[in-house]
Amino acid sequence: MRRLRLLGLPASLLPLCLACPGLAAEAPAETTPQLELGYAIYAAGLHTADLTARLTLAPDQYRVRMHFATTGLYAIFEGGHTDTVVEGRFAKGRVRPLRFESVGHWSRTLWETVLDYTDGAAHLYPHVRVLAPPETDLRLPVPESLRIDRVDTVSAILLLLHRVNQGEGCVGDVGTFDGHIAAVISAHDAGRDTVPVSGRSPYAGSAVRCDFEGHAVGGFLRADDAEEANRHRHGTAWLAAPVPGAPILPIRLSFETAWIGSASMYLTAVTRLGPEPAPPADETTREARALSGDAAREPTPPPAPGRLPVAR
């Protein structure tokens, strides 16, 4: 069974609900409020999944918590859920993730990924700390050249949306690596559009349209034919402030998946929350922050073998 995917990555459209850079400019990081965003996902006319996302965003850093779960008949027959936490920072027009953690169960199978990063003077090196299911002979390994300078999918799309909120437009290509697959996400402006009224969402009206596509460049399933392996999957996000004074958010999305075909995603609720307590500074988090450049430390180059170590 294939989970909901745009690029062969789990729930890779989820971070499109996190475009809120304008919110953090009013307060320092320690008092930056959270936004809680609710989205409902439909396919073939059926309500298939729900997403709840909490975002804490300062001008130069971000922290995201997401819960994604199937619902209705999909939850009964091919159900699953994923919890994801991502933290990182923006620097000189680039996104520099610190850590990506995702864990979930799909059809009784555990899927877990933990990545952290070495941010060197010239390159960003992703390190796979946990990967379940582990790499197997079913999938071609991602070469070292397709891992360097690639970020997790959440951070990649956050960068594209950060550019929108900074007035730079929805444009650019970002390389991603999720532990299994290397991909490229491309986006471009498509002008303004009108989002029609729908009983699935209270948010409609004039919006900025952002078209995007993604395709894998490494980590292909050996069983896939060439056409499927090189397929580009497309989507559109409609961006607008859902309530007066709010930052620009995606209020509606449409996208292709390898699991349920074409799907649509509707914003259903926006809630302002209080500041999120700082997470415990465990050793792993401190190391990730040090390696990312928050402490004076020489970057660690990637291991000499062709594949990064995988913790079991």
In tens, the pLDDT along 38-90 reads 999 999 889 999 999 998 777 788 899 999 999 987 777 778 999 999 999 98
Query: What is the pLDDT at residue 277?
Result: 60
Q: Which phi and psi (to 5°) does residue 289 adopt?
A: -70, -35
DSSP characters over the chain: -PPSBSSSSBTTTGGGG---HHHHTTS-GGGPEEEEEEEEEEETTEEEEEEEEEEEEETTEEEEEEEEEE-HHHHHHH-EEEEEEEEEEEETTEEEEEEEEEEEEETTEEEEEEEEEEE-SS-EEEEEEEEESPP-TTBPPPPGGGTTT-B-HHHHHHHHHHHHHTTS-S-EEEEEE-SS-EEEEEEEEEEEEEEPPBTTBS--EEEEEEEEEEEEEE--BTTS-HHHHT--EEEEEEEE-SSTTPPPEEEEEEEE-SSSSEEEEEEEEEEEEEEPPPPP--HHHHHHHIIIIIS--PPPPPPSSSS---B-
Q: So where are the chain's domains?
A: 14-294
pTM, entire model: 0.77
Predicted local confidence at residue 134, as pLDDT: 85
Per-residue model confidence (pLDDT) at position 243: 76
Q: Is the pLDDT of residue 19 over 90?
A: no
